[in-house]
Structure formats: C-alpha cells, structure tokens
Amino acid sequence: MPVIRFVREGRDIECYPGENLREVARREGIELYGLKGQLGNCGGCGQCITCFVSVVDDSASDALTARTPVEDNKLRRRPGDWRLACQALVEKSLLVLTRPQVRLANAEARLAAARQAPLPEGPTAWPTPPQSEDAEEGAEEGDVEASDAHPATADDEA
C-alpha cells in the first residue's frame, strides 16, 4: 500500500490506494492548515485554498491523481509542485510537505534525509481477510465462491 511521508511531521503513514490525502492527514492527526484554515476551511470542497501541500519528491509525479480543474484554477499563481490535499487521491508512495507556505526549520537537511530513506513502491496488493480453515478444506481447485470474487471496479463497468 502507498506510504505518505510527511516531512514536516517526520511521519510515514500507510493508506489505501485512492484515499483522499486530506482525509488521511486528518485521520492521522496531521495538521494541514495554517491559522486561516484552522479558523475556517471549506471542509474539503476545494474552495478555501488552505489545504496546501507540496510534493517534494521529484520522482513522484504520478503518485497523486492529476490536478483537478479546481486546482488548476486555484493554484495558478502557486508553485507547480503544490496541491490541494482535499483534491488529491494517493496512488503511490510519496513525500509531502504540509503547509509549504510556512518555513521549515533546517529545511535542506530534513528534506535530504526524507528523500534518502527508502519508500515502498506501492500500491501493493489489497489486504484480503484471512480465510477460515473450513473454507480452505472444503474448496476444490477451480472453485470460486461468490464471496471470493473481487468486487466490480469502476474500470469493470466502463
């Protein structure tokens, strides 16, 4: 599964492929917002422009879903590696700097250290629930129960 390395916080957090970056950060107690965003943000609608993150991993251009039209509009005067966390879905492991508008103490050394430590490639296989011994004993080769089938994905329906 992808790992998000939050450089400012010094934390690696694993998430499912396709999870929303803002939601992962909030779930894990990572502060995305400066004072303005803490006082009032749009709740992830892409309107307040306060959930900036910087993708500080040059090799991770495809780690997040492509910029949305909202981001293209709202970030047109910002650096090219900035994203709105609420608009980005995580597809592969990457390094992010939260609140890139706020100075990062000892930035060069911290960024270098974060880039140097290896990250998993991600995404890897989805976790599967453990199978009971009864199911394994009763199953014969080629048998596929409905509960074992993978659920349909958006790609399957297209």
Under rule CB under 6 A, residue 50 binds ligand FES? yes
**Whose Cβ is closer to ligand FES: residue 71's or residue 122's?**
71
CA atoms within 13 A on the CB side of 105: 2
Shortest CB 25 distance to ligand FES, Å: 11
Under rule CB under 6 A, residue 49 binds ligand FES? yes
Is it true that the peptide bond before 123 is cis, omega within 30 degrees of 0? Answer: yes
d(CA 150, CA 10): 36
CB-closest chain residue to ligand FES: 86
d(CA 79, CA 54): 9
Interface pick for ligand FES out of 1, 13, 48, 89 (rule CB under 6 A): 48
Under rule CB under 6 A, residue 54 binds ligand FES? no
Interface pick for ligand FES out of 21, 53, 86, 90 (rule CB under 6 A): 86
Edge to edge, the sheet with strand 94-98 lists 11-14, 3-6, 94-98, 52-55, 82-84
Shortest CB 67 distance to ligand FES, Å: 13
CB atoms closer than 10 angstroms to residue 22: 22
Q: Which positions lie near ligand FES, rule CB under 6 A?
A: 41-42, 44-51, 84, 86
